[in-house]
Structure 1
Amino acid sequence: MPRPSKPLISRAATVAASIEIIDSEGLDAFSMPRLAKHLGVQAPSLYHHFADKSEILAAVARSIAGAGPMPRRRPGPDWPEFFVTLGLNLRKSILRHRNAAPILIQYLPRDLLIGTYEETAQFLRASGVPLHLHVRILDGMERITIGAALTEAMRPTGTRAIFPNIDREMQPTLAEAIDANELTSKQLFEEMIRCFLYGVMREARETASVETSEVSA
């Protein structure tokens, strides 16, 4: 398709308009003609900045995933808290744009923001985390955060109950567990990350201890 000789819109404006449409009308309503109408231009004007719809959606995913700031924390033994904050920032950004959440499954942060992963790998190294654990941590963090945020985003707005469809007579043990839980969804998410990260480090220490014992024997 031929492109107009002069851009009528900017790349940033196109991404912002795309997010507005998806936020207000849903992902299924998004299309190139709908976007062009929203911007008050003809569809060919969009091709000054993007090759196709897929490239626009990738830019939307990049905008949402990259919206949260990097945590301000020095490398050190409390390094897991850096990732707790990082996860919370991404979760907040995703839940701010619930209708767009599924896009982040198709366009993962690791494919769009690889520079951020380099920064976090440098932070892990500076914190003394063994190099062979870096990919395990970075891969796990993305899976946990995207999975948890997407699950929450897909629930009806205003639903606060963690198990909303429980029948207290049919599931009495689960009902007791829910009554005993004192954490919100956000707090459960934080603890999920901590359990994962400290679990990785505990396993690494135990493995190193066993290997040292075997060498000594």
Structure 2
Amino acid sequence: MARPSKPLISREAAVLASIEIIDTEGLEAFSLPKLAKHLGVRAPSLYHHFADKNEIFTEIARYIAGTTVATPRRRPGPDWPEFFVALCLNFRQSILRHRNAAPVLLQHMPRDLFVPTYEDTARFMLESGVPIELHVRILDGMETLAIGAVLMEAMRAPSTKSTIFPNVDAASQPILAEALASNELTQKKLFEETVRSFLHGVIRDHM
């Protein structure tokens, strides 16, 4: 399709409008004609900025999982794991703010999305006394843990402490039912403690 001679909208405006449509109407409702109508332009105007819908989805994933995630302000030191805990909680908050877009993130999140920030993060760990031979294990592990846990949570209905594992039958699964009844952690707190346990475990296993 031929591109119009002059762009009528910005790339960022199109991404933000796409997220708004997905947030309010659901992913199934999203289409390029609907996006164009939402922006008050004709569909060919979108081709100034995007080759196709997949490219829009990639930029949606980049925005939600990258641009909107706040980096914690923390000095290097012995409590360095708390930097990662705070960062992962910020990541979780950004994703869950746009639950309808979770399938987009699952399929279109760029593999190298976080790599540009890893040099600064590695420097932070080095200045905190974390052995450099553990950096890749920590960075890769945190990426895998955070993305996997948060996207899985985003694609499910919001849960309470008692429904973290849904449809548990006390008669046929009595131990699991008792464990759920004894659990005092919310989904957010479980995620936080899982991140913290992973980081302390890496250091403990290295000793």
Q: Same fold (TM over 0.5)?
A: yes
What residue is the counterpart of 1:114 in the other structure?
115
Give, in whole Å, the separation in 2 of the partners of 1:49 and 1:195: 43
Structure-1 separation of matches of 2:113 and 2:51: 16
Larger radius of gyration between Structure 1 and Structure 2 = 1
Instruction: Tell me which amino acid in the other structure corresponds to 1:47.
Output: Y
Identity %: 68
1:30 shift after superposition? 2.0
Stretch of structure 1 that moved more, 144-153 or 73-82 = 144-153
Structure 2 gap segments, 5+ residues each: none
Contact kept, 8 Å, 1:26 with 1:99, in 2: the verdict is yes
Residues 125/110 of structure 1: CA separation in 2 closer, same or farther (3 Å cut): farther
Q: Corresponding residue for 2:55? A: 55
- Per the alignment, residue 103 of structure 2 pairs with 102
User: What CA distance in whole angstroms lies between the structure 2 residues aligned with 1:96 and 1:109?
Assistant: 20
Is 1:65 equivalent to 2:65 in the alignment?
yes
Task: Compute the displacement of 1:5 (Å).
Answer: 1.4
Task: Look up the SS of the partner of 2:87 in the other structure.
Answer: helix
Aligned to 1:74: 75
2:189 matched to which residue of 1? 187
- Give the Cα separation in 2 of the matches to 1:32 and 1:59: 14
- The separation in 2 between residues aligned to 1:133 and 1:203, in whole angstroms, is 11
The 1:3/1:103 distance shift into structure 2, 3 A limit, reads: same
Answer yes or no: is the 8 Å Cα contact 2:62–2:113 preserved in 1. Answer: yes
Cα RMSD for the two superposed structures: 1.5
2:14 corresponds to: 14
1:143 aligns with 2:144: yes
**Displacement of 1:110:** 4.7
Inter-partner Cα distance in structure 2 for 1:202 and 1:86: 21
Corresponding residue number in structure 1 for 2:90: 89
Q: 1:32-47 maps to which residues of 2 (within 5 A)?
A: 32-47=32-47
